[in-house]
Amino acid sequence: MNTYKRLLAIASILSLPAMVMAQGAAKSNTSLDWIYDNILLIVIAGLVLGALFSLFYTMETIVKNKQKEFLAEHGISLPDEVGSSENIFQKFWDKLVGMIPIEQEKDIDLGHDYDGIRELDNSLPPWWLYLFYFTIAWSAVYIYVYHFSDIGDSQQVEYEKAMDIAEEQRRAVMFKQANAVNESNVIQLTDAADLAEGAQLFKSQCASCHGMLGEGGVGPNMTDNYWIHGGDIGSIFRTIKYGVPEKGMISWKTQLRPASMQKVASYIMTLVGTDPPNQKKPEGELIELTAGGEATELNSSIVK
């Protein structure tokens, strides 16, 4: 396999990731958007490809020159390579890499010799300069697209969009976590918005039995320190979730999400000590709640 075939194989391998990404981009974005999003990758791929071309060409040139020198020492001369297509490519390649022919190296020799290695005044290769000029031109396009036109979003707009996406993801995670609440891990909520939602649910679903202010009715009083089925957050949550069928209270686990039951239970705990009018007489055990919502039994006797 000659050098050009090897280079073509390398170029094909390097282009595979770009082809895969381009196929994905065609499904979701326009070609221009894909270029904007992957410009750094395109430039890096070009640099790597150019460096590999230069490396292989340089190595082959050195090998050929050594072969010619060796054969010339033995009085053998090789004919120049022929082929119009190869000559055209050769000329293009020589112009792209800007290599000085070995017979002209004396013109750029700086006269410094380090252990047989001569220092030459070589210029930067044209392919590198072309890429450098391209980055300058691209910067002008970038500034126009992202700062002066409506084609691309500014950093502020991108930041705001990213924050909106992050907020949606946060809400999705919180929603999943809220639905994972049960009587063993539930905690008392104190956020005003959560308590307001809990109050709305209590008044619409629970007030018919427990009173609009929690004073009690068909169901027990929610505002005193007496509890039939426990007064801590876990016990209240469990009572709401499973109900008390023998006393006519239905189970709400099929009608309310765990997060909603947690909000109702947290709201009920705020009713303790509010002392509304027309309270129903105490029922159950006298239990004092701590600041953290934990219950401490003070009197184990049943008060009717």
Residues 231-255: pLDDT tens digits? 899 999 999 999 999 988 999 999 9
Q: How far apart are CA 267 and CA 260, in angstroms?
A: 11
Give the total residue count for the chain: 304
Distance between CA 143 and CA 207 in Å, rounded?
62
Identity of the amino acid at 28: S
Quickly name the fold that domain 192-303 has.
Cytochrome Bc1 Complex; Chain D, domain 2 (1.10.760)
Could you give the CA distance from residue 298 to residue 166 in angstroms, rounded to a whole number? 47
- CA–CA gap between residue 11 and residue 7 (Å, rounded): 6
pLDDT band at 28 (very low <50, low <70, confident <90, very high): very low
Tens of pLDDT, residue by residue over 54-98, are: 777 677 777 777 777 777 777 776 565 544 445 676 677 777 777
pTM of the complete model beyond 0.75:
no
97-114 average pLDDT score: 76
Task: Mark out the alpha helices in the chain (DSSP H runs).
Answer: 3-28, 31-37, 39-73, 84-97, 126-143, 155-178, 192-201, 207-210, 233-242, 258-271
pLDDT bucket at 119, cuts 50 / 70 / 90:
confident
Reference 266, options 210, 207, 197; nearest CA is 197
Crossing angle, helix 192-201 and helix 258-271, to 10 degrees? 90
At residue 204, φ and ψ (nearest 5 deg) are: -85, -25
Q: What's the token pair of residue 203? A: 């008044």
Distance of CA 293 to the CA centre of its chain: 38
The pLDDT score that the predictor gives to residue 35 is 72
pLDDT band for position 27 (cuts 50, 70, 90): very low
Other CB atoms closer than 10 Å to residue 118's CB: what's the count? Answer: 13
**Where do the structural domains in the chain lie, given as residue ranges?**
3-148, 192-303
| CA dist., res. 291 & res. 269, Å (int) | 11
Structure-block tokens of residue 202 = 């209590």
